[in-house]
Amino acid sequence: MNTVFSLRLWLIFLRRIMLSCYPAEVAFLLFSRKTFARIKESRALRVVLVFIVCDLAVRAVVFFAGVPFSGRYFLPWTVGFALLAGGGFEPLAEFAATRTRVSKNIVGIVVFCAIAIGYSIKALHPRKDKPWLQAIPAKIRSLTPEEMEPVIISNYMDGRFGYYADTTRLILLQPEKEWALYVQRRRCGGDVQWSQLKRDVGLKGLRGLVFGLNNQRVFIILRVDSHGASSDQVAELESLSCLRVVESYADRKGRRFKLYAFSNSND
Site for another protein in 165-224 (CB under 8 A): 168, 186-190
Report the site for another protein in 1-30 (rule: CB under 8 A). Answer: 1-6, 8-9, 12, 20, 22, 24-25, 28
CB atoms closer than 10 angstroms to residue 124 = 8
Please state at what angle helix 75-85 crosses helix 43-64, rounded to 10 degrees. 150
- Interface of this chain with another protein, residues 128 to 157, rule: CB under 8 A: 128, 130, 133-134
Q: Report the distance separating Cα 213 and Cα 151, nearest Å.
A: 9
- Listed residue (84, 99, 79, 105) closest to 42, CA to CA: 84
Beta carbon nearer to another protein, 86 or 212 = 86
- DSSP 3-state assignment of 206? helix
Q: How many CB atoms lie within 10 A of CB 31?
A: 19
Name the minimum Å distance from CB 241 to another protein: 32
Tell me the one-letter amino acid at 151: V
- Which positions from 67 through 86 interact with another protein, judged by CB under 8 A? 67-73, 75-76, 78-79, 82-86
Stretch in the footprint of another protein (CB under 8 A) among 43-51, 215-223, 236-244, 254-262: 43-51
CA distances from 261 to 144, 148, 153, 228, 250 (A): 10, 15, 10, 18, 18
Q: Least distance from C-beta 89 to another protein, angstroms?
A: 4
**Cβ 154 to another protein, closest distance in Å?**
14
Does 248 engage in binding with another protein (CB under 8 A)?
no
Of 123, 214, 226, 253, the residue at the interface with another protein (CB under 8 A) is: 123
Instruction: Kindly tell me which residue out of 14, 26, 117, 183 binds another protein, with binding defined by CB under 8 A.
Output: 117
